[in-house]
Homo-oligomer: A and B are copies of this chain.
Amino acid sequence: QSDNNDVKLAALPYYNFGKGLGLTSPDSLFQFNIRFRMQNRATFYSKEGQDDYINAQIRRLRLRFDGFVGDPRFLYVIQLSFSPQDHGVIEDGDNINIIRDAVFFYRPNARWNIGFGQTKIPGNRQRINSSGALQLTDRSINNSRFNVDRDFGFHIYYLHEKLESFGYNIKSSITTGEGRNFNSQDDMGLAYTAKAEIFPLGSFTRNGAYFEGDLMREQTPKVMLSAAYQFNNSALQTQGQRGDALYEQKNLHYVFLDGVVKYKGWALQTAFMQRRTEGSSFAFDQLDTTGSTFNYALTGRGYDGQLSYIFKNDLELIGRYSYSRPTNEIRAFVGEAKQYTFGVSKYLKEHSFKLQAEITTEMLDFIGRVDRQNWYGRIQVEIGI
């Protein structure tokens, strides 16, 4: 337990400014921290072939409780989410999707984290990065298409970072493969995830591999390179832990490669993501003998590059390029996409309280359908403790 009462869990990095609000029982038998964060935004959309529109909403509203019971080796983290877009629209037979994280951790020493419950699994870097510590208002299009999501199961981490020299982390999980609060159908097919992170020039300041932008202004160059793989056996949904129910179960394979470099206010983040199936992506409804009722696993690959510079006054300029290429099989339904984003962030209390603005243009290229070009402009306030 550090003196800023933060639960520094490798599985669930969380950005907070200052010492936080930690409540300890009079008999010191437990600690209980309360945190929240809120993201309010308004977006103007101009999409080819549609009327322009404005969307304004509470994009994220999270309550987080963490601490220990008995002694600091026995930790818990609970995160609840209340925003409409986090829940998704209600459909018959769904579960209510308020719980994001609910996990017990045993941390016998600084090297090992052993968890049981629901939390993020070690996939690509930007997904593990808290949405409260992004420098643009949301993750890239490749994250929404190809990443792995929170899941329930066992989480085993071995951490071996060093402050000034070569270090590494090994992170793994065995989970149900069906994602958050899934309770509709069960099988024997699990998801197996493993990840290696290396830090050739030593650790980032204040766990900086897991917040975006060089807010710490690293005085020596810092680098993280990581590679992760997941096998999701007999996935039930189009995107594994998320998406609609597939008509047939699919085995999914994922590869994630990430790189982060920070130095003197500059930050570069790059990512490669891939989801593929064994055999065809298409799943057919066996009850429809004409074969015209089907859906598909969202297969493909993508690349993100993101570069930023933060000025002395904590104003940051950010550019991002994303290229997202679904497999040819499904490109009549899901377009090849190129996205260019330019953003400005003003950090008032680091990532805990910031104002953000961005403009994104998007080119979508379909097989057998008319291509489209869209753009949007957005402002956002994030505030939290």
Which stretch (A250-258, A306-314, A345-353) binds chain B? A345-353
Q: A27-B19, A58-B102 are in contact. Are A90 and B89 (CB under 8 A)?
A: no
A107 to B353, CA, bound (A): 15
Q: Decide: B25 and A21 in contact? CB cutoff 8 A.
A: yes
Known contacts A18-B25, A19-B27: does B78 contact A80 (CB below 8 Å)? no
Closest to A77 in B: B38
Is A152 an interface position by the 8 A CB rule? yes
Least CB distance, A138 to chain B, in whole angstroms: 15
Within 8 A of B (CB), among A161-197: 175-176, 181-184, 186-188, 190
Partner of A95, one of B87, B103, B153, B190: B87
Which residue of B is nearest A379, CB measured?
A: B116
Q: Which B residue sits closest to A43, measured CB to CB?
A: B186
Name the distance in Å between A51's Cβ and chain B's nearest Cβ: 7
Evaluate contact between B18 and A117: CB separation under 8 angstroms. no
Contact indicator A54/B188 (Cβ below 8 Å): yes
Residues of A in contact (CB 8 Å), total 76
Complex CA gap A252/B274 in Å reads 49
| Copies held by the complex | 3
Residues of B within 8 A of A93 (CB): 89-91
Binary CB contact string for chain A from 97 to 135 against chain B (1 if under 8 A, 0 otherwise): 011001110000000000011100000000000000000
A29-B349, A56-B176, A153-B56 known; A90 and B87 CB under 8 Å?
no
A368 within 8 A of B: no
Q: Is the CB of B40 within 8 A of A84?
A: no
What 1/0 mask marks residues of chain A from 68 to 84 whose CB sits below 8 Å from any chain B CB? 01100010101010111
Q: Is the CB of A40 within 8 A of B104?
A: yes
A118 close to B176 (CB less than 8 A): no
In the complex, what distance in Å separates the CA atom of A61 from the CA atom of B95?
14
Chain B residue numbers with a CB within 8 Å of A87 are 95-96
Q: Are B187 and A51 in contact (CB under 8 A)?
A: yes
Give the residues in chain B near A190, CB-CB below 8 Å: 54
CB distance from A67 to the nearest CB of B (A): 8
Nearest B residue to A52, CB-CB = B188
A385, closest chain B residue (CB)? B30
Nearest CB on B from A28, distance (A): 9
Q: For the complex, is A294 an interface residue (Cβ under 8 Å from B)?
A: no
**When chains A and B are docked, how far (Å) is the Cα of A222 from the Cα of B69?**
30
Partner of A183, one of B21, B57, B116, B152: B57
The 6 closest A-B pairs by CB, nearest first: A84-B95, A18-B29, A53-B186, A40-B117, A84-B183, A84-B181
29 interchain pairs (CB within 8 A)? Answer: A17-B29, A21-B30, A21-B32, A25-B385, A32-B34, A38-B76, A38-B102, A38-B104, A40-B103, A40-B104, A40-B152, A45-B186, A52-B188, A54-B190, A56-B176, A61-B102, A69-B352, A69-B384, A69-B385, A74-B348, A82-B96, A82-B98, A83-B102, A84-B95, A84-B182, A87-B95, A104-B381, A104-B383, A116-B381
